[in-house]
Structure 1
Amino acid sequence: MTILYIEKEKQKTLKKEILIEGIALHSGKDAAIRLKAAPADTGIIFYRSDLDKRIRLKAEPGSVVNLVRNTTIGSREIKEAKVSTVEHLMAAIWGSGIDNLEVEVSGPEIPVIDGSAYPYYQRIMDSGLKEQPQQRKVFKIEAPIYVRQHDSYITILPYAGFKISYTLDYQHPVIGSSYFEFDAEKIDFGEEIAKARTFGFAEEVEKLHKRGLALGGNLENAVLIEANKTVNPLRFENEFVRHKILDVIGDMFLNGRIMGHIIAIKSGHRLHVKLAEKIREKMLEEEN
């Protein structure tokens, strides 16, 4: 793996502070985030405003503490210092072109808004970005890295750009099998990926609620799937696979900006983060 300093691209942060409020998908409680500019070479930092001690949680694979239905980052030492459901926001930050950002969170979870990355992305783009003097740093994949679990796998291959090829395959008549390819140089993230919403099955709602999950889920922030149809209309015919690509982007951004081609088959957050961990190992080898 090679660390590239892109000569014609400068690092970017937010031009002005943004407040975003809503409800949390899993807890169902009110949630709010403040997005703030951060110095060059900071990366993406989260911290909880409701805790007595301000603990900086850097968005990186080593900070991930839970992967049940979402990606949660947290402190290994202080159990309550964690932030869950960061993946959609992380994807929006990646898509906007931001490299450095502070995210102040009012509680343990990010507000879900409409279940996609678009509301965050739109607010960031409306605020505008500020260029920083340092060159953007990109990690170029030079040899395949992969992770597999049963019939699901994800790999990253050398590629002069950033591309994700995802195959979704559910034993469910509404979802079935679908494939979509996102190439950052050719497809508009904001219009084609950011708007794809998370989805869930009506038959699972009661079970999830008993586990304290999806308590804030409703038809305004998720696509609900019944036995033979979706309860609410889709934004894209293949919205499910597009949302999976959105999740991959958010989870891969735990390592900052990467140059490579990701091929994923039936992968979820657990496999994404395992791949991110392997990429991080290679990055550290290069830095040392």
Structure 2
Amino acid sequence: MGADLYDHQTTIKSRVSLSGIGVHSGKPVSVHFSPADADTGIVFHCQGPNGAVDIRALIAEVAATDLATVLGDLAGAHVATVEHLMATLLGLGIDNVAIDIDGREVPILDGSAALFVDALEQAGIERLSAKRRYIRILKPVRLDNGGSWAEFRPYEGTRFEVEIDFETPAIGRQSLAIDLDAETFRREIARARTFGFMKDVERLWAAGYALGSSLENSVVIGDDHRVINMEGLRYPDEFVRHKTLDAVGDLALAGSRFIGCFRSYRGGHKLNATALRRLLADHSAYQIVEGSGRERSRLGASAHLPSSH
């Protein structure tokens, strides 16, 4: 992609589709991605009880964050488990897409973002004439929640610093710090899979969740604190990389990419969403800037930023 692509909004060049099952519902679902005009953003077209509904991929539409990020109305039209797809759109720098979905949950595929990356890169990325807008962080905004915390800080680029800490020796304490661009997303984050514990599976099944979860789409830690997947891990620290993938996807719901650093410790979907809401509620903490050549020169080399929604 040319350098000026980062200054302009983008869409995909052609329609592309993916099919799979929902990790929680266990039901088959297909998604179809189509090009969209500038300033459309990311919009899901889905069926509700009273017909077709459009749901914009924005933090204001977040209805639940317990086990996944859910957009829309839980009692009506909604779409669940959007985080891996949203991370891919942000990571690859795709601003405007219409997404038709014939179910209520984005397919889990292999538990990572890798197949979304493959499909959307197959469709191609097209530069639009409209300028891209960014959320520039002006001052720290922090959220503490028991032993967890998250914060946004000013930074000349788009950076994620994520740390996790689990009692099981299969995970332990892991951290990852990256400056996000399309190549880093593909190489360092996209292939990291969702994970869970065998001891939680029966409880989740009884509650009607994780019905589609399997060793084909999840890293599973057994009662002996070992990864039971035959192929092992894709990265030595795949767990924190997946938590970073989730954070990228959750923050994509800001509506624009941010210029700043997001840091978290023992975070998750709920913490990510709450921190984003707190940032956007404090209008003194950020400003909206356009990705013009002048802005990019102020940002320096780190401003080769691939996205905003």
Give the AA of the match of 1:280: L
1:228 maps to which of 225, 228, 238: 225
Give the structure 1 partner of residue 100 of structure 2.
Answer: 104
Aligned counterpart, 2:42: 44
Give the distance between the partners of 1:46 and 1:114, measured in 2 at CA.
21
Q: Distance in 1 between matches of 2:194 and 2:28?
A: 19
Percent identity, aligned pairs only? 34
- TM-score, normalization by structure 2: 0.86
Q: TM-score normalized by structure 1?
A: 0.92
Following superposition of structure 1 onto structure 2, how do residues 95-174 of structure 1 map, counting pairs within 5 Å?
Answer: 95-174=91-170
CA RMSD of aligned residues (A): 1.9
| Number of the residue aligned with 1:192 | 188
Q: CA–CA distance in 2 between the matches of 1:191 and 1:53?
A: 40
Preserved CA contact (<8 Å) 2:48 2:77: no
Q: Secondary structure at the match of 2:7?
A: strand
**Post-superposition CA distance 1:92-121 (Å, at most 9, x none):** 111111011111111110010000011001
CA distance in 2, matches of 1:43, 1:280: 18
- Structure 1 equivalent of residue 53 of structure 2: 55
Q: Are the equivalent residues in 1 in contact too, given 2:112–2:192 (CA < 8 A)?
A: yes
Distance 2:124 2:282 in 1: 33
| Alpha-carbon distance between aligned partners in 2 of 1:194 and 1:262, rounded to the nearest angstrom | 18
Cα offset for 1:246? Answer: 0.3
Please show how residues 183-262 of structure 1 align to structure 2 within 5 Å. 183-185=179-181, 188-226=184-222, 227-232=224-229, 233-255=232-254, 256-262=256-262
Letter in 1 for 2:27: K
> Is residue 181 from structure 1 mapped to residue 171 from structure 2 by the alignment?
no
Check if 1:29 corresponds to 2:27. Answer: yes
Moved more, 201-210 or 178-187: 178-187
- Kept after mapping to 1: 8 A contact 2:35/2:98: yes
Contact persistence 2:71–2:80 (CA under 8 A): yes
Distance 2:193 2:150 in 1: 21
In 2, Cα distance between the equivalents of 1:35 and 1:8? 21
The alpha-carbon deviation at position 276 of structure 1 amounts to 1.4
Structure 1 residue 74 and structure 2 residue 72: aligned? Answer: yes
Structure 1 residue 37, shift from structure 2 partner: 1.1
Partner of 2:297: none
* Inter-CA distance 271–71: structure 2 relative to 1 (3 Å threshold): same
Judge conservation of contact 1:40–1:132 (CA < 8 Å) in 2. yes
- Structure 1 contact 167–177 (Cα < 8 Å) conserved: yes
**Paired residues of 1:50 and 1:106 also in contact (CA < 8 A):** no
Quote how far apart the aligned CAs of 1:187 are.
6.3
Q: 5+ unaligned residues in a row in structure 1: which ranges?
A: 1-5
Query: 1:165 deviation in Å?
Result: 0.7
Structure 2: 5+ residue stretches without partners: 289-309
**Pair 1:281-2:278 in alignment:** no
Of 4, 12, 15, which aligns to 2:13?
15
Greater than 4 Å deviation, 4+ residue runs = 49-52, 283-287
Give the match's secondary structure for 1:34.
strand
